[in-house]
Amino acid sequence: MYRIGQEEINAVGRAILSRDFFKINGSGREVYNFEEEWKQLTGAKYALTMTSGFAALSSALIGMGIGPGDEVIVPAYTYIASALAVTSVGAIPVIAEVDDTLTIDVADVEKKLSPHTKAVMPVYIQGFPADLDALTALAKKYGFKIIEDACQADGGMYHGRYLGTIGDAGAFSFNYFKVITSGEGGAMVTGDRTIYERALIYHDASAVAFFGDQLNGIDQPLFGGTEFRVSDLTGAILREQLKRMPGILSDLRRNRTLLTKLTCAEGGAGGKHCKAPSHDIDGDCGTTLPLRFDSAEECRAFQQKAAEKGVGTTVPIDTGKHIYTNWTQIMEKRGALHPAMDPFLMEANKGLQHNYSADMCPRTLDLLSRTAYVMISPDWDEAEIGRIADVINNC
């Protein structure tokens, strides 16, 4: 959570005092207005607000018609929710290496394609854009869909377009740790009418046909789904957070740029460190400066010295459920609450690529072991950035 305050309190207070904060038919229409504003900003054609990023990912997969018998390629470095969204729809996550930017390695994706591959999920971890030009070209060549996990990249961009709006569908998270937050929350966007209609039906299974006129103009037949609907309280907070987002991002990017300039050789100011590359440094959310070392030992020595001098860093190999080796449910293949619903046991998924092993993505483990993240604050002033840069340059 970066910034929140009285404006959000006022917005929620207004919604509560209206005594009418159910999403559908509510007089405040906070969620609908948030969706309109999110679409206007990002250029997405359709948007649905949901309870979480996971909800948005699984609704997008359902929207694409993905299920048993299908494979979805996910990067080896992402929060476990990305892979669990795939098993939640009965499909199999196939795990691919990340490239030097710590986003999905398109060359490894190509190696892992099979006749069962229905989608590939680039994930913008820490707001880092993936190589979407190469991935889009591959998708055109082989005919798979792209589902963008932009959960850590609210407001991030790639070559001038908003992350999440470039593939067939995109998912955002607004949980406590994200660029903007409603405590918990998420949104799915798509430009595809069928994906939208199926996600609409799935994410609000019981209420979609009961409340309001949500099914007006909807061609897809009703099917059973789940309940990921949010209230206007979430919408009210998100509308205020959306007003803050450009400022949060520009302050993060400005501070990350200055810190890079002062500490990294490629910054041009004589810094000695090496920044991990980016597929679009201007679109990157700026939440993190990823320093890259030649070895894990060097990286640890840097981390320890910086900590002694009062600058904390994170080595991503330490980030638990963000690394495939720690995805217990996936690695041990318990994909559902009942064996009959477990994608790893389904007849339709026999022969698909789910022979997971801890050493299957060595390049990812190596890169994660020799990268140190300096987490950026949008609220630092130049003096603070100078102090941090001095520490980094002396480690």
Ligand X SMILES: Cc1ncc(COP(=O)(O)O)c(C=O)c1O
Binding site for ligand X (CB under 6 A): 52-54, 78-79, 81-82, 123, 125, 149, 151-152, 173, 175, 186
For residue 79, the minimal CB distance to ligand X (Å) is 4
Closest CA to 56 of 129, 167, 180, 164: 164
Residues 165/184, Cβ–Cβ less than 8 Å: no
User: Distances from the Cα of 301 to the Cαs of 97, 304, 363, in angstroms?
Assistant: 26, 5, 21
Q: Identify which of residues 170 and 378 has a Cβ nearer to ligand X in the complex.
A: 170
For residue 304, the minimal CB distance to ligand X (Å) is 27
Residues 236/14, Cβ–Cβ less than 8 Å: yes
Q: How far apart are CA 82 and CA 327, in angstroms?
A: 11
Closest CA to 167 of 42, 253, 323: 42
The answer to whether 178 is a known catalytic residue is: yes
For residue 104, the minimal CB distance to ligand X (Å) is 12
Closest residue to ligand X in the complex (CB): 53
Q: Which of 23, 118, 145, 178 is catalytic?
A: 178
Alpha helices for 309-377 (secondary structure H): 328-331, 362-369
User: Distances from the Cα of 185 to the Cαs of 14, 17, 237, 299, 341, in angstroms?
Assistant: 20, 22, 10, 35, 26
For residue 175, the minimal CB distance to ligand X (Å) is 4
For residue 58, the minimal CB distance to ligand X (Å) is 9
The β-bridge partners of 72 are: 93, 119
Q: Identify which of residues 54 and 293 has a Cβ nearer to ligand X in the complex.
A: 54
Residue 365's SS3 state is helix
Residues 30/22, Cβ–Cβ less than 8 Å: no
Q: Identify which of residues 18 and 314 has a Cβ nearer to ligand X in the complex.
A: 314
> What is the C-alpha radius of gyration for the chain, rounded to an integer number of angstroms?
21
Q: Identify which of residues 78 and 349 has a Cβ nearer to ligand X in the complex.
A: 78
Q: Nearest 5 degrees, angle CA 136-CA 137-CA 143?
A: 80
Q: Identify which of residues 69 and 170 has a Cβ nearer to ligand X in the complex.
A: 170
For residue 393, the minimal CB distance to ligand X (Å) is 31
Residues 126/285, Cβ–Cβ less than 8 Å: yes
Q: How far apart are CA 252 and CA 249, in angstroms?
A: 5
Q: What is the number of other CB atoms lying within 10 angstroms of the CB of residue 379? A: 12
For residue 52, the minimal CB distance to ligand X (Å) is 3
Q: Identify which of residues 59 and 263 has a Cβ nearer to ligand X in the complex.
A: 59
- Residue type at 381 in one-letter notation: D
Q: Identify which of residues 106 and 306 has a Cβ nearer to ligand X in the complex.
A: 106
Q: Catalytic site residues?
A: 178
